[in-house]
Amino acid sequence: MRYAIPFLALAALAAACAPRLQTVGPPLAAPALDGAALIAADGARLPLRRWLPDGAPEAVVVALHGFNDYSNAFADTGATLAARGVAVYAYDQRGFGATARPGLWAGTEAMVADLAAMAALARGRHPDAPLYLLGDSMGGAVVMTALARGAAGPVAGAVLVAPAVWGRETMNPFTRAALWLGAHTVPWLTLSGRGLDITPSDNTEMLIALGRDPLVIKETRIDAIHGLVDLMDAALDAAPQIATPLLVLYGAHDEIIPKAPTALMLDRLAGPRAVAVYPDGYHMLLRDLQANVVHEDLAAWIAAPGAPLPSGHDRDWRRFLEE
C-alpha cells in the first residue's frame, strides 16, 4: 500500500500536466501568400523568405528549417540555388522564428498542413516549373510525413538533409521513460543543451551568430521535445510509404541524429533515392564549412535527379553508417 500512494500521486500529477500544444483555429479562408508571409487557413501568419532567379525559374523549392531554427537557415542555400535558376521559398514553421507563439509545439498535423498549403501555393505561382521539397532535420521529418500521406500533392522530388528520424523505437528505454515523465509532469520546464558536449557544425562563426540571433530558440520546453519525438516517430514510420524520388544528405560526424536510426530509415525507404554521406560533414550540412560542396550536389540533383553527384559522396556512403 505504501508504494501505491506515491504511484497514484504521480499519475494524478501526470494527468494534470499533459504536454501543451498550440491551438490551431478552424479554417477561415484559403491559404495565401501576402508577400512577407504564408497565411494559413486558420489565419496564422508564418513569416516567409524567398530567393528568386532572374526570369522564370527552372525549378521551385519549398524549404523547411530544423528544430529551434527558422527560415533564415536557408540564406546561403537559397542564394546559391537562385543563381542556378531555382526559386526557393522558406517560411517560419509554427512555434519557431517570428511566428506568434515561438517555443510552443504546434503538432505534426498542423505542420504537415502548413507544408501542404505552401506547396500548393508555390505550385500555383509557378505552374510550369517542377516542385521540390527541401527539409532540414526537423523539416525533413515534416517532409517525409507529408509525402507518405500525399499531403503535399505531386512533387518532382525531395531533399532530406540530416532528417530527424530518431524515433522512440531506436531510443533506449530510459530515454523514452524520462521523456514521457518530463513531458507529463513538468512540460513547461526548459532545457538549454549546454554541457552536452555536442558539436552541431564545424562552422564556429556561424554557431556564434546563431547564439546571438534572437529568433533562434535557446531554451526548449520539454513538451516541445516530446512533440518533436512524436514527429520523428511519424517520419520513421513514413519511410516505406514514400514513392517520391529522394536525395538524402548526412554528415559522418552528425552528433544530433545518430547513425543507427538514419541507416534504419534508409533501409526502409521503398522509393528511388540517392544518398550522400559527407566524411567531414556535421549535422548542419547546409552551413558547415564545406557547405559549398553540399550546395553543388543539391543543385546538381535538382537539375538531373538520376545523375551521379559532383562530390562523389553518393558512391560509398554505406561504410560511413556502418562504422
Domain ranges of the chain: 39-322
Q: Which three cell numbers stand for residue 264?
A: 534504419
Integer Rg of the chain from CA = 20
Q: Looking at the predicted structure, is the pLDDT value of residue 15 above 50?
A: no
Q: CB of 223 within 8 A of CB of 105?
A: yes
pLDDT at 191: 86
pLDDT at 35: 81
Confidence grade of residue 4 (pLDDT, cut at 50, 70, 90): very low
* Burial class for 91, CB neighbours closer than 10 Å (0-12, 13-18, 19+): buried
Confidence grade of residue 222 (pLDDT, cut at 50, 70, 90): very high
Contacts of residue 55, Cβ cutoff 8 Å, sequence gap at least 6: 85
Pick the more confident residue, 93 or 17: 93
Q: Looking at the predicted structure, is the pLDDT value of residue 56 above 80?
A: yes
Q: Which three cell numbers stand for residue 305?
A: 535527379
How far CA 118 is from CA of 15, 69, 143, 151, 205, in Å, comes to 36, 18, 12, 11, 32
Q: CB of 42 within 8 A of CB of 25?
A: yes
Q: pLDDT exceeding 90 applies to what percent of the chain?
A: 85
Separation of alpha carbons 175 and 12, rounded Å: 22
Can you say how many angstroms the Cα of residue 268 is from the centroid of all Cα atoms in its chain?
19
The pLDDT mean for the chain works out to 92
pLDDT at 5: 41
Q: Looking at the predicted structure, is the pLDDT value of residue 239 above 70?
A: yes
Q: Looking at the predicted structure, is the pLDDT value of residue 11 above 80?
A: no
Neighbouring CB atoms inside 10 A of 184's CB total: 20
Confidence grade of residue 16 (pLDDT, cut at 50, 70, 90): low
Report pLDDT digits (tens) over 67-83: 999 999 999 999 999 99
Q: Looking at the predicted structure, is the pLDDT value of residue 142 above 70?
A: yes
pLDDT at 195: 65
Q: CB of 167 within 8 A of CB of 237?
A: yes
The yes or no reply on domain 39-322 and CATH 3.40.50.2300 is no
Report pLDDT digits (tens) over 248-293: 999 999 999 999 999 999 999 988 899 999 999 999 999 999 999 9
